[in-house]
């Protein structure tokens, strides 16, 4: 996220950020802290972005960058991206997405959607240890970067330095930049090999099936889904709590006694929902069965 902000935005630039959860808010906080004129476009937490409202803001602001969260981890919403990048491009803007929780758990179609900039994380549906953040940068974004007026306010995240490091110079020459976390690169390579072996479409279906099984098993215990089925983020399910549940105490006992960690609600959803992640190898019915059995004991 910070790589995208420091390379493709400068003080005085304008950005439009859709905010329907913690991670849209986080991007807006970051761009504002950099002196970027940021238009936050707010939406109800637990609902997707209304493209008509977003498009109206883009038309009014004419920003350099538009940012939307693909999988909002704080609310469990998966955002339909169709047409968003095209609209941003027609207004001269780059289109950026956060696909931390959606990548390899649901469709993330960078080229078909026309995405210029995207970032993810290795620790969720990729099933890899935490520590790396895959990013992608389009040719359009590189041209925008080459037109910067000011130096990049970061050494470690500087795109020019990183491109030289991976060997995009004359004859593929490389320039030293940093000592790479080689063990993490090997781990990511193996995680990607396993994903391709399983097949992306099969993997997407496995995450959906696990989420649907979770919702079905939790309903008899009084837990209801927060998000409409049309826009659920399958790797991260948000459930409304049964009335009268001391949710923090139950989550604490699940962690202490059963080694099961369940996320609580954030922001306006704090104390109102649970956030249950079924990602990578955890997106399986036996994981749900273990949670439900433990929860039945706790209740």
189 in any annotated domain: no
Question: Are both 213 and 165 inside the same structural domain?
Answer: no
CA pair distance 253, 139, nearest whole angstrom? 50
Question: Are both 258 and 116 inside the same structural domain?
Answer: no
Question: Are both 164 and 204 inside the same structural domain?
Answer: no
Overall number of domains in the chain:
2
Mean of the pLDDT values across residues 77-105?
97
183 in any annotated domain: no
pLDDT at 62 over 90: yes
pLDDT (0 to 100) of residue 252: 97
pLDDT (0 to 100) of residue 167: 82
Question: Are both 167 and 205 inside the same structural domain?
Answer: no
192 in any annotated domain: no
Give me the CATH number covering residue 48.
3.40.640.10
CA pair distance 118, 37, nearest whole angstrom? 21
Question: Are both 7 and 103 inside the same structural domain?
Answer: yes
218 in any annotated domain: yes
126 in any annotated domain: no
**Domain range spanning residue 276?**
200-298
Confidence band of 170 (pLDDT split at 50, 70, 90): low
CA pair distance 63, 51, nearest whole angstrom? 16
pLDDT at 130 over 70: yes
Question: Are both 140 and 216 inside the same structural domain?
Answer: no
Identify the sign of the CA torsion 21, 24, 29, 32. negative
Question: Are both 38 and 146 inside the same structural domain?
Answer: yes
pLDDT at 171 over 80: no
Question: Are both 43 and 157 inside the same structural domain?
Answer: yes
pLDDT at 33 over 80: yes
195 in any annotated domain: no
Mean pLDDT of the chain: 96
pLDDT at 173 over 90: no
270 in any annotated domain: yes
Question: Are both 145 and 6 inside the same structural domain?
Answer: yes
Which residue, 154, 135, 137, is CA-closest to 146? 137
Please name the helix (run of DSSP H) or strand (run of DSSP E) that holds residue 66, with its range, or none: strand 65-69
pLDDT (0 to 100) of residue 172: 75
Question: Are both 280 and 207 inside the same structural domain?
Answer: yes
CA pair distance 268, 170, nearest whole angstrom? 52
Question: Are both 151 and 222 inside the same structural domain?
Answer: no
Kind of pairing between the strands at 94-98 and 117-119: parallel
pLDDT at 84 over 90: yes
Give me the CATH number covering residue 274.
3.90.1150.10
Q: How many C-alpha atoms does 209 have within 13 Å on its Cβ side? A: 13
- Asked whether the beta carbons of 125 and 101 are under 8 A apart, the reply is yes
pLDDT at 168 over 90: no
Question: Are both 142 and 262 inside the same structural domain?
Answer: no
CA pair distance 134, 80, nearest whole angstrom? 21
pLDDT (0 to 100) of residue 169: 63
pLDDT at 61 over 80: yes
154 in any annotated domain: yes
Mean of the pLDDT values across residues 91-99?
98
């Amino acid at each position: 996220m910070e790589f995208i902000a420091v390379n493709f935005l400068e003080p005085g630039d304008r950005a439009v950020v859709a905010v329907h959860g913690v991670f849209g808010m986080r991007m807006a906080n970051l761009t504002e802290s950099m002196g970027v004129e940021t238009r936050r476009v707010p939406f109800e937490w637990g609902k997707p972005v209304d493209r008509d409202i977003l498009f109206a803001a883009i038309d009014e602001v004419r920003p350099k960058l538009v940012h939307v969260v693909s999988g909002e981890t704080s609310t469990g919403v998966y955002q339909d991206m169709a047409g968003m990048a095209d609209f941003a491009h027609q207004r001269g803007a780059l289109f950026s997405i956060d696909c931390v929780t959606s990548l390899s758990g649901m469709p993330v179609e960078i080229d078909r959607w026309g995405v210029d900039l995207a970032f993810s994380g290795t620790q969720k549906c990729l099933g890899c240890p935490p520590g790396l953040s895959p990013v992608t940068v389009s040719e359009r974004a590189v041209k925008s970067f080459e037109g910067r007026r000011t130096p990049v306010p970061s050494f470690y995240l500087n795109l020019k330095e990183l491109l030289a490091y991976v060997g995009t110079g004359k004859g593929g020459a490389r320039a030293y930049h940093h000592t790479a976390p080689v063990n993490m690169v090997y781990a990511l390579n193996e995680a990607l090999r396993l994903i391709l072996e399983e097949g992306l479409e099969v993997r997407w279906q496995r995450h959906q099936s696990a989420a649907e099984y979770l919702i079905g098993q939790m309903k008899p215990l009084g837990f209801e889904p927060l998000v409409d089925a049309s826009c659920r983020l399958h790797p991260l399910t948000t459930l409304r709590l049964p009335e009268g549940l001391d949710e923090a105490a139950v989550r604490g006992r699940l962690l202490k006694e059963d080694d099961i960690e369940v996320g609580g609600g954030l922001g306006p959803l704090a104390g109102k929902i649970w956030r249950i992640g079924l990602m990578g190898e955890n997106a399986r019915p036996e994981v749900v069965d273990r949670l439900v059995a433990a929860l039945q004991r706790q209740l």
